[in-house]
Amino acid sequence: MYLKILRLILLSTLFASVTSFAKENTPVQTQIRDYAQFFDESLNDMQEESETAMEEKKKGILLMFEMDECPFCKRMKKTVLNRVEVQDYFKENFRILSVDIEGDLELTDFKGNDTTQKDFSLKQFRVRATPVFQFLDLKGEPLKNGRLTGATRDSKEFMMLGKYIVEGEHEKIPFLRYKRQQKKAGK
């Protein structure tokens, strides 16, 4: 009888230890949403988008220039733009719009001129490669150091980009230098 009780105590202790170890070493699950929720609905009228951003008290506008066959755009959508924390932070601070650099859809630019997505991308923003993340002020003017061409390494780097813009660091230093400073500071 004594051995059975001792065995039962040992087994329950072992089970508790294994359960505790598993909880401590289980990675935190990243919350994911459909990447389409990253973008705001748009009728391709940039003047209207600017007014909406002002009404919603956004810090600015973020344009993502992309194209269908872009592997880096797809990677950003599947690994960064679908993260809940990324969507929440960027939607709180920016009006976010997607522009297809090969698109023939009509678009009204920030000055009220009619154009196409393709011409808007190339002629007004000189976008040739994708993805391009272009941050604009509420009048539709590009922010100093507010452009990133290419994909970020991960969601942490993309969040750093957002904070770089929101905190106004883009006015002082280029993003690459800001990134180095943040890494040195352990952020």
29-84 pLDDT tens trace? 779 999 999 999 999 999 999 999 999 999 999 999 999 999 999 999 999 999 99
pLDDT digits (tens, 9 = 90+) for 139-156: 999 999 999 999 999 999
For residues 109 and 120, the answer to whether their CB atoms sit within 8 Å is: yes
0.85 surpassed by pTM: no
Distance from C-alpha of 83 to C-alpha of 155, rounded to nearest angstrom: 8
**Sequence spans of domains, the chain:** 35-184
Fold of the 35-184 domain:
Glutaredoxin (3.40.30)
| Six token digits for residue 65 | 């220039």
The continuous run of DSSP H or E covering 66 comes out as: strand 60-66
Residue 4 has pLDDT above 80, yes or no: no
Half-sphere exposure of 12 (CA within 13 A, CB side): 6
For residues 148 and 175, the answer to whether their CB atoms sit within 8 Å is: yes
